[in-house]
Amino acid sequence: MPGDAPAGTAGAAFFDVDGTLTTGTTLFRFLEYRFAVEGRPPQAYTQERQRLRAMTEAGVCRSRTNRAYFASYARLSVSWVTELAEEWFRHELESEGFLHDSAVAALRRHQAAGEPVVLVSGSFPALLAPLARLLEVDAVLATEPETVLGHYTGDAAVTMIGGTKADAVRSWSAEHGIDPAAATAYGDHASDLPMLRATGRGVVVGGDRELRAIAAREGWRLLPAPPPAPPLRLPEPRWTARTPLAAGRRPA
């Protein structure tokens, strides 16, 4: 908690997003929303989820599956995706239940104590920007999809997964005069473990068995798991010159 740090040291709080601050996974909820706008049939989203799940079940590391997620973004306009992400996020908030109240309350306590708050996520900037504004955080450390001339390439230059999260936390702390030993990190998955160990205090969100066992040994605090995410209200297809179609058109 804020106040646990040694006197005179500057603390900070680093929060994973999916399953920690949100009840649903931003990458997949937005993907489903995007496919609906593009006019793709529902099975297209199911097939994409199955493709990525098969990679995970085959033992492919999360960094590679994170990169593979962006294949369907190839040739999409960055500005179009950014605009659509703003719309998607408004719909999520209108439905209520998308934010994890316990984790958001913890974030607000750090802010009240005067500590900077940083989002550290495998999601990408277009999806995280509206959340960052809502929560008034100080920085976002995220996966960076590759872009060329304002369009996504279908790959990622940086995947904010596993050890990369820990490296980003240390680098940001050094740049801002933060002692990592005085900082707190929040995560819900075993892949967040390097980040949790990169700070002085880890907080485990939810019921990941491996993380909870480590938390018991390390004396880390626990927060409850988020409730199930609310149903996603899907939009009607929009057949405009700027909207990619199931047949393969891409917005300029």
Residues 95-113 pLDDT 10s? 899 999 999 999 999 999 9
pTM score of the predicted model: 0.92
How high is the pLDDT of residue 249?
Answer: 46
Per DSSP, the residues of 175-186 read: HTT--GGG-EEE
| Residue 73: C-alpha distances to residues 70, 77, 154 (Å) | 5, 9, 5
Residue 118 has pLDDT above 90, yes or no: yes
Q: What's the N-to-C CA distance of the chain in angstroms?
A: 47
Residue 241 has pLDDT above 80, yes or no: no
What is the share, in percent, of the chain residues with pLDDT greater than 70?
A: 91
What rounded mean pLDDT belongs to the chain? 92
- The pLDDT of residue 130: 98
Q: How confident is the model at residue 207 (pLDDT cuts 50, 70, 90)?
A: confident
Does residue 55 have a pLDDT over 70?
Answer: yes
Tell me: the pLDDT tens digits for 135-189?
999 999 999 999 999 999 999 999 999 999 999 999 999 999 999 999 999 999 9
Domains (ranges, CATH) in the chain? 13-223 (3.40.50.1000)
Least Cα distance to 16 among 242, 250, 149, 211 occurs for 211
| Residue labelled with tokens 């996974």 | 25
The answer to whether 192 and 165 have CB atoms below 8 angstroms apart is: yes
